[in-house]
């Protein structure tokens, strides 16, 4: 039973070696999850137009990607081109693993920086240098129940916190003690983070040396978040306890659900056809008028250790090209980072994508320090304690500053040392 498997393995290795006789330059490209599978369909076209280059695509599962990339870095075996979640860029830039792209970008006829959404492009810029080109984007905004909002007396979705409060109060009054107005899962930090980015105060201060959570802006956000639980607009649950967020949304357990663009396809699939027009997407309401949200998504980066940078750059340019981006969008349903691609009728006429198009003009990057993900996790833990009544808003803000400062201790030490040199 084992022999056929072993034989085919040997055969594979032999075939693999045989292909090495191919004189083309090999570019290794690591991509993750679903996009990693789909991008394989775009590569033959690239190899046809660039006869001297062969692309070796490796797909990584998202859950193992971060660890695998760090291990690859430690073992000097990083790929030439790689997809990187844009919140990871500060970390890999701090490691010195990424190649700055500024010079190549200035000579590029394919990548037009002005065509990209500014907030998204900005996530790739660290200390004035560009380390990646956005590949696809995501951001968070509310999915809402049109019918329930209308029943509560609102024909249009709210655009300010004040209107949103009124709408949630009215929906809650209709829903009764067992129903709610909004779902803010306690195991996700993204909704709170999106609301926090709407404030003018930065989340970290002094070049990321200290937390800035006691600022008036962040405390306003925290108070709003707390209010939604205190008034019974949001249930105190995590995603695990809901088990099927689409189904509960369809049943009317809550009317607002803050999530990302991947859920458009899910809502289309999971809500019965006869009730498809009950849901819609809307830009995230802000403190005074439409507000900011998170600049998320993935970028394409070159690794500094690569020996095939020029070839890898050509692949990066090919994948960033407007036509390739349009094909990629059609294949994946991911939202493109370039405005030109949005003019494609398939996207321009999609009613559910419209709010995302508007929101993308108002996205903001999270603080660009490698420690950010840890701080965001602490933000979730502390806000969960606050919602459970263990901390007041001011205590939670102070506690967050304390935890952020402890996490940033090493960064301060390094910045001080670099300053002393």
Partner 1 sequence: MSGGGRLAGWVFAGPALLVIGLFFLLPVICALALSVTDFDIYALADLDNLRFVGFGNYLALLQNPLFWKALGNTIYFVLVGVPLSIMVSLGAAVLLHSKLGRFKPFFRTAFFAPVVTTVVAVAVIWRYLFHTRYGLVNWGLSGLGIEPVDWLGDPHWAMPTIIGFAVWKNFGYNMIIFLSGLQAIPEDLYEAARIDGASAWPQFRHVTLPMLGPVLLLVGILTMAGYFQLFAEPYVMTQGGPLESTVSVLYLMYEQGFKWWNLGMASAVAFILFVLMGGITSGLLWFARRRGAEG
| Span near partner 1 by CB under 8 A; candidates 116-124, 206-214, 221-229, 378-386 | 378-386
**In angstroms, how far is the first alpha carbon of the chain from the final one?**
64
- Strand, helix or coil at 337? coil
Query: How far lies 176's CA from each of 165, 169, 172, 252, 253, in Å?
Result: 17, 11, 6, 11, 10
Q: Using CB under 8 A, which of 91, 99, 278, 317 touches partner 1?
A: 91
Sign of CA dihedral 250, 256, 257, 263: positive
| Span near partner 1 by CB under 8 A; candidates 163-171, 218-226, 304-312, 407-415 | 407-415
Give me the least distance between CB of 390 and partner 1, in Å please: 8
One character per residue 181-210, x = contact with partner 1 (rule: CB under 8 A): -----xx-----------------------
Pairing of strands 204-205, 210-211: antiparallel
Give me the least distance between CB of 362 and partner 1, in Å please: 31
Q: Using CB under 8 A, which of 385, 392, 394, 395 touches partner 1?
A: 385
Q: Is 73 in the site for partner 1 (CB under 8 A)?
A: yes
Binding residues for partner 1 restricted to 129-148, rule: CB under 8 A: none
Give me 70's structure tokens: 């760090």
Q: Is 67 in the site for partner 1 (CB under 8 A)?
A: yes
| Span near partner 1 by CB under 8 A; candidates 14-22, 94-102, 158-166, 291-299 | 94-102
Q: Is 96 in the site for partner 1 (CB under 8 A)?
A: yes
Which residue is listed with tokens 């009730």?
275
Pairing of strands 289-290, 296-302: unpaired
Closest CA to 132 of 376, 362, 335, 295: 295
Query: How far lies 80's CA from each of 26, 77, 284, 296, 347, in Å?
Result: 9, 9, 37, 23, 32
Q: Is 70 in the site for partner 1 (CB under 8 A)?
A: yes
Give the residues lining the site for partner 1 (CB under 8 A). 67, 70, 73-74, 91, 94-97, 186-187, 236-238, 240-241, 243, 370, 373-374, 381, 384-385, 388, 390, 410, 413-414
């Amino acid at each position: 039973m084992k022999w056929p498997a072993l034989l085919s393995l040997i055969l594979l290795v032999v075939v693999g070696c045989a292909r090495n006789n191919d004189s083309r330059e090999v570019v290794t490209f690591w991509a993750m999850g679903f996009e990693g599978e789909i991008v394989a369909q775009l590569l033959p076209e690239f190899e046809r137009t660039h006869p001297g280059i062969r692309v070796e695509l490796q797909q990584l599962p998202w859950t193992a990607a971060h660890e695998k990339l760090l291990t690859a870095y430690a073992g000097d075996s990083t790929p030439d081109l790689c997809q990187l979640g844009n919140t990871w860029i500060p970390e890999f830039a701090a490691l010195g693993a990424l190649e700055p792209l500024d010079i190549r970008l200035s000579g590029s006829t394919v990548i037009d920086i002005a065509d990209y959404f500014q907030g998204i492009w900005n996530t790739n810029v660290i200390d004035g240098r560009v380390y990646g080109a956005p590949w696809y984007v995501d951001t968070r905004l509310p999915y809402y129940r049109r019918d329930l909002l209308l029943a509560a007396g609102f024909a249009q979705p709210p655009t300010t916190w004040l209107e949103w409060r009124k709408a949630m109060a009215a929906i809650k009054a209709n829903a009764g003690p067992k129903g709610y107005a909004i779902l803010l899962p306690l195991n996700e930090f993204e909704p709170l983070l999106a609301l926090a980015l709407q404030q003018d105060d930065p989340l970290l201060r002094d070049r990321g040396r200290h937390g800035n959570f006691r600022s008036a802006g962040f405390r306003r956000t925290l108070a709003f978040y707390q209010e939604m639980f205190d008034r019974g607009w949001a249930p105190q649950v995590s995603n695990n306890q809901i088990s099927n967020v689409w189904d509960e949304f369809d049943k009317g357990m809550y009317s607002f659900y803050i999530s990302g663009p991947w859920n458009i396809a899910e809502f289309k699939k999971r809500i019965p056809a006869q009730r498809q027009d009950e849901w819609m997407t809307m830009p995230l309401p802000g403190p005074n008028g439409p507000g900011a949200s998170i600049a998320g998504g993935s970028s394409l980066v070159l690794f500094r250790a690569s020996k095939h940078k020029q070839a890898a750059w050509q692949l990066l340019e090919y994948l960033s090209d407007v036509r390739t981006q349009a094909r990629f969008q059609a294949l994946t349903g991911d939202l493109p980072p370039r405005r030109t691609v949005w003019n494609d009728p398939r996207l321009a006429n999609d009613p559910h994508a419209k709010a995302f198009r508007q929101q993308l003009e108002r996205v903001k990057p999270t603080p660009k320090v490698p420690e950010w993900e840890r701080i965001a996790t602490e933000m979730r833990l502390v806000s969960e304690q606050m919602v459970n009544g263990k901390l007041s808003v001011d205590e939670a803000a102070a506690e967050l500053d304390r935890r952020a400062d402890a996490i940033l201790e090493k960064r301060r030490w390094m910045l001080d040392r670099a300053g002393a040199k």
